[in-house]
A and B are shown apart, each in its own frame.
Chain A
């Protein structure tokens, strides 16, 4: 159980966040400069907030109201720094043993051997950090932090120091390590895929504030606001006007079309008619209507529209198409209205490179309304 309440003001930036998490792995996700790393530093005791309260497993790290502020030495948190901050003058074994100075020599050696074994670093004991690969360095940094049996493990952009091909492999490896050691952890990242892969619960940061905290699946499918959707990097974040809202459905007008979206009963978002409304459509959920199958079936194809392909990009296994609606007025996103993703195979079968005008549909469950 981690409970965080921090206020820290700087001349040009203010951090004011509050979140809680029960066990497992928490992801702090948001753009650079949103205050994620600063939160980690406050958790570790390296920076003292102006006001706040930090409790980890019923141990009070900080309570400015009660005058409690444990120094970093007394908090027992494992901190994996961005870039790892391994001691360059110490060997792998000495790095891992660094936090174990209080233990008797034999116990220390046992613990180091155990940690290195579990992280697949056995045999590298006498190497120095400069002699290790990026992935090995990451594991040494993890090992050094985990060796002290931390109450909480903090990871700051743990994969950003690695090359792209290695990143994916190590992301999965890191997830296994976190699950395997069962230590509660807080992971900072600006990459949503990374946050989703590593964390069970994701706290979204923007400009020193928390704009959503939710289990990862909820965040993925129901971002709480347009700001969250944009930070997640979602494409097709659009603006329309409400026609009618019921707990089950929301009807909205957009680009001369009437669209029907599923309302979330748990959220019971009921904006009044004629109010502006933001929504997003995942590009892979827009369906092109096949021309060789006769007239589209209205049960199968709802929210039917027609548009022109005005741009396309080949991403190897998928094609990304930019469609402009057959409707008056300026397009919603510059020179196009919707980004649509089709598998490469579909692109070839439908001969999209030759045929530029298409009817397409969006299931009402794939139009995600963003409460304002």
Chain B
């Protein structure tokens, strides 16, 4: 059995989770802490990927990064291509899962008593230092939970990926796409095996998360 889709999916989901952590945590912090005009709008935009049909998201993403899109053309100018590469799959998985990370991390940051951060500031610590020594240590479980959910969601991402990365065996065919392919080809045993692998990974992660959640700080 060809396990390439499994390895690709793990690589894509891990990369997407890393990307959502880097991009999502600042947004979550902003939503949890700052009061600014357009906050409601940002909050709506954040949940949009969860509620829009994935094919719609994929379509617009393709319009932007495709060879005729603004980003696609800019990349082509320096000899790079994004659409229908595994990087496009990473982008698709990130967009599909970033909302889960942001909402979970935001909820975590909101439970951190602001007075603790203020205390840290009066004790001379910079905003950067306050975040790493107080805010994150007190909210890391929520951030981790968000990251695990985002990883699982990224692992299962189908619609957006199909639109922007295609379904190229050995190049962009991820686990969910491979399962779909096997079913189409009536290779039910292989489809079942791949599906079981996906279930196994997710069950282990979610169970592990519930154990971690019981730890103190």
Contact B115 A102 (CB under 8 A): no
The smallest C-beta distance from B181 to any residue of chain A, in angstroms, reads 48
With both beta carbons as reference points, the residue of chain B lying nearest to A130 in the complex is identified as B216
| Cβ of B125 under 8 Å from chain A | yes
Kindly identify which residue among A71, A85, A102, A148 contacts B113, using a CB–CB cutoff of 8 Å: A85
Complexed CA–CA distance, A44 and B120 (Å): 12
Of A76-84, A186-194, A298-306, the segment with at least 4 beta carbons within 8 Å of chain B is A76-84
Contact B119 A89 (CB under 8 A): no
Q: Which residues in A have their C-beta under 8 angstroms from that of B125?
A: 73, 98-99, 101
Contact A79 B122 (CB under 8 A): yes
Q: Which residues in B have their C-beta under 8 angstroms from that of A72?
A: 118, 121-122
Complexed CA–CA distance, A360 and B213 (Å): 70
The smallest C-beta distance from A80 to any residue of chain B, in angstroms, reads 9
- Please provide the chain A residues from 74 to 115 with a CB less than 8 Å away from any CB of chain B in the complex: 75-79, 81, 83, 85, 87-89, 98-99, 101-102
Q: Count contacts on B: residues with CB < 8 A to the other chain.
A: 19
**In the complex where A88-B138, A89-B217 touch, is A73 in contact with B126 (Cβ < 8 A)?**
yes
The smallest C-beta distance from A368 to any residue of chain B, in angstroms, reads 40
Q: Which residues in A have their C-beta under 8 angstroms from that of B120?
A: 87, 98
Q: Count contacts on A: residues with CB < 8 A to the other chain.
A: 24
| Cβ of B38 under 8 Å from chain A | no
Q: Which residues in A have their C-beta under 8 angstroms from that of B123?
A: 98-99, 144-145, 148
Q: Which residues in A have their C-beta under 8 angstroms from that of B198?
A: none
Q: Which residues in B have their C-beta under 8 angstroms from that of A73?
A: 121-122, 124-126
Contact B122 A78 (CB under 8 A): yes
Q: Which residues in B have their C-beta under 8 angstroms from that of A88?
A: 138, 217
Contact A79 B119 (CB under 8 A): yes
Q: Mark B103-139, 1 if CB is under 8 A from A, else 0.
A: 0000000000101101111111110010001100110
Contact B122 A75 (CB under 8 A): yes
With both beta carbons as reference points, the residue of chain B lying nearest to A89 in the complex is identified as B217
**In the complex where A85-B116, A87-B116 touch, is A77 in contact with B122 (Cβ < 8 A)?**
yes
Contact A85 B118 (CB under 8 A): yes
Complexed CA–CA distance, A88 and B113 (Å): 11
**In the complex where A88-B138, A88-B217, A89-B138 touch, is A102 in contact with B124 (Cβ < 8 A)?**
yes
Contact A148 B124 (CB under 8 A): yes
Q: Which residues in B have their C-beta under 8 angstroms from that of A148?
A: 123-124
Complexed CA–CA distance, A102 and B126 (Å): 12
Q: Which residues in B have their C-beta under 8 angstroms from that of A85?
A: 113, 115-116, 118-119
Main secondary structure on chain B at its contact with chain A?
helix
| Cβ of A14 under 8 Å from chain B | no
The smallest C-beta distance from A132 to any residue of chain B, in angstroms, reads 15
With both beta carbons as reference points, the residue of chain A lying nearest to B126 in the complex is identified as A73
The smallest C-beta distance from A361 to any residue of chain B, in angstroms, reads 53
Complexed CA–CA distance, A77 and B121 (Å): 10
With both beta carbons as reference points, the residue of chain A lying nearest to B130 in the complex is identified as A73
Complexed CA–CA distance, A254 and B116 (Å): 54
Complexed CA–CA distance, A81 and B216 (Å): 24
Complexed CA–CA distance, A87 and B217 (Å): 11
Contact B124 A101 (CB under 8 A): yes
| Cβ of A346 under 8 Å from chain B | no
Q: Which residues in A have their C-beta under 8 angstroms from that of B113?
A: 85
| Cβ of A46 under 8 Å from chain B | yes
Q: Which residues in B have their C-beta under 8 angstroms from that of A83?
A: 115
Contact A46 B138 (CB under 8 A): no
- Please provide the chain B residues from 202 to 217 with a CB less than 8 Å away from any CB of chain A in the complex: 216-217
Contact B115 A81 (CB under 8 A): yes
Q: Which residues in A have their C-beta under 8 angstroms from that of B119?
A: 79, 81, 85, 87, 144
With both beta carbons as reference points, the residue of chain A lying nearest to B129 in the complex is identified as A101
With both beta carbons as reference points, the residue of chain A lying nearest to B118 in the complex is identified as A46
Complexed CA–CA distance, A72 and B114 (Å): 14
Complexed CA–CA distance, A44 and B118 (Å): 9
Complexed CA–CA distance, A47 and B133 (Å): 22
Q: Which residues in B have their C-beta under 8 angstroms from that of A145?
A: 122-123
With both beta carbons as reference points, the residue of chain B lying nearest to A82 in the complex is identified as B115
Q: List 21 A-B contacts (CB under 8 A).
A: A44-B118, A46-B118, A71-B121, A72-B121, A73-B124, A73-B125, A73-B126, A78-B122, A81-B115, A81-B119, A83-B115, A85-B119, A87-B120, A98-B120, A101-B129, A102-B124, A144-B119, A144-B123, A145-B122, A145-B123, A148-B124
Given contacts A73-B121, A81-B119, A144-B123, 5 further A-B contacts (CB under 8 A): A46-B118, A78-B122, A79-B119, A85-B116, A148-B124
